Amino acid sequence: MVARNVSTRTLAYVTDAAIGLLILPFNLAHLGTTAYGLWMLAASVTVYFSILDFGYGGALVRFVAEYRARRDAKGLNEILSTLFFVLVAVAAAAYAIAALIAFNLDLFFKLTPEQADTGRAILLIVAVNVALRMIFALYGSVIVGFQQYHLNSVTSIVTSLMVAVVNVIVLLAGYGVVALVAATTTVRLLAYAVYRLNAYQVFPGMQLRWRSVRLNRLREVSEFGAFMFLLDWAYKLNYSADVLVIGALIGAPAVALWTPAQRLADVTLRLTNQLSEAMFPLVVDSDAGRRAERLRRIFLQSTRLSLAMTLPIAGGLVCLARPLLTAWLGQTFADTAVVVQILAAVVVIRVGSSTASIVMKGAGLHRRLTLLITFMGIANIALSVALAGRLGLRGVAIGTLVPVGVIAIFGIFPMACRRVGVPLIRAVRQALWPALWPAPIMAGALLLTREQMPATLLALALQLALAATVYFGLFLVVAIDPAERHEYLRQLRKLLPRRPQLSVAT
């Protein structure tokens, strides 16, 4: 089940990432840097609206998994019914706040009156999607809690393809950014109905009724949700505030220059972090069942595999950043190569410590995790603001890297080791080192071939594929022992289609 969930989630993100990377230069060419920057700036504002659910969206996954394990359908329906009506109220409040910001956008960012008008229209449209997503996230939590990720993944793939088609049609027809945002948002809203159907398929006994609302259920979820709220807020400070800092201190055109670098980092993160995210229900189940050895195995194996999945891609971005940006978007964006390299390092640290964060969140250390991530977020904002004036976009990227590295290496990872009962030295030796040491050899291969190959997207893709082959060859053949290699290959074989068995009549 874990292999299927991870593979389908990864396929969904590969599809979304490929479409996003292909459509970005098309959008930039048809909209221009200013209009595109306004779109990304408005989208970044709405990122923060998700924290207005007070952590209930994140908490629901845990309670769905827990009550499913207890086989308590009545209690689960009471929790879902209570949270449904709470989220409806929260969504209405979120849209009201979005409207307030939209009509005062020029007070927060360096915008001309014309840019403010366009940004206002974009924000009001995008906020509709954000508000409804809060409500329909409940159905997604049911699917995740029942460990049926593949249903969401299929819906996500179809939605991404439809959004891309609509995007191209609207721009080729000569419409501007406001019409584009309205059209693509409509497609995303229609997809929410499918997520609802998926949830009822997974949990046919789900009943969202006003008479099932219980105040004690709200208190139960709120005790955990309060920390998820603070944690979500802290994560937003760390990983979504950069665009706001750039918009406030540098301007909308700089946002357009930053966006490709951030997009590459986000794609790498989303593609390679699926395993640790899929572990959350298993961590909760292991902790609730007091299965200490299983929890240790999840921590060590998931950390190692997560790192092994991200290092070939992130390492490739570090080595090939400048030729990649030149071939993808043109010479104008080549100077942001150093931003790509810094953000790629951030991704490696985040993915390497992601399983540790999941263990802390799902196994009783969510309070400490919240404190660490909050401190990281505050330091990130302060350092980014301080360096933006001196170093520009590079300073904003450094302001993210330093706090993330310090907190992950000296806080999150050691605390998770203590929680699962694994000495730090053993965790480094078994979880980190096997994934880390093949990376410099892979990087050397990339640097050797970089000057020999033409700077085209096809040639760069070939270089990355060859480097990844070198990395995974070393990882599977040398870095891990034969028993682990056999288990990994066995899990991969489960994902391959099987030949039908032919019966012979006698």
Q: Please compute the mean of the pLDDT values over residues 363-382 and round it to a whole number.
A: 86
pLDDT in tens, 191-248: 888 888 888 888 888 888 888 888 888 887 777 777 777 777 777 666 667 777 887 7
Record the tokens describing residue 471, joined without a space. Answer: 């990395």
Phi first, then psi, for residue 288 (nearest 5°) are: -65, -35
Our CA dihedral for 342, 263, 403, 396, rounded to 10 degrees, sits at: 70
pLDDT in tens, 115-154: 888 888 888 998 888 888 888 888 888 887 777 767 777 8
Q: Is the pLDDT of residue 503 over 50?
A: no
SS3 labels along 216-252: HHHHHHHHHHHHHHHHHHHHHHHHCCHHHHHHHHCCH
The residue with greater pLDDT, 93 or 5, is 93
d(CA 241, CA 420): 32
- Reduced to 3 states, what is the DSSP secondary structure of residue 385? helix
Q: Please compute the mean of the pLDDT values over residues 353-367 and round it to a whole number.
A: 86
- Reduced to 3 states, what is the DSSP secondary structure of residue 451? coil
Phi first, then psi, for residue 95 (nearest 5°) are: -70, -35
- Reduced to 3 states, what is the DSSP secondary structure of residue 326? helix
High-pLDDT (> 90) share of the chain, %: 18
At residue 53, the pLDDT reads 67
High-pLDDT (> 70) share of the chain, %: 89
* Mean per-residue pLDDT over the chain, rounded: 82
Measured between alpha carbons, how far is residue 294 from residues 32, 145, 203, 279, 283 in Å? 52, 19, 27, 12, 9
pLDDT in tens, 269-313: 877 776 776 777 778 777 777 788 888 888 998 899 889 989 998
Q: Please compute the mean of the pLDDT values over residues 387-398 and round it to a whole number.
A: 88
- Reduced to 3 states, what is the DSSP secondary structure of residue 483? helix
The residues, ordered by sequence, that sit 6+ positions from 137 with a Cβ below 8 Å of its Cβ are: 53, 57, 60, 87
**DSSP character string of 377-403:** HHHHHHHHHHHHHHHTHHHHHHHHHHH
- Contact between residue 351 and residue 310 where contact means Cβ atoms under 8 Å apart: yes
- Contact between residue 59 and residue 225 where contact means Cβ atoms under 8 Å apart: yes
Record the tokens describing residue 35, joined without a space. Answer: 């209009």
Host H or E run for residue 90: helix 73-102
d(CA 319, CA 298): 31
Helix, strand and coil content of the chain, in percent to the nearest 5, comes to 85, 0, 15
Spacing of C-alpha 54 from chain mean position: 19
**DSSP character string of 42-77:** HHHHHHGGGGGGTTHHHHHHHHHHHHHHHT-HHHHH
- Reduced to 3 states, what is the DSSP secondary structure of residue 437? coil
Give the torsion sign (CA, 145, 184, 132, 98): positive
Host H or E run for residue 272: helix 252-272
pLDDT in tens, 395-411: 999 999 999 999 999 99
At residue 433, the pLDDT reads 93
- Contact between residue 195 and residue 139 where contact means Cβ atoms under 8 Å apart: yes
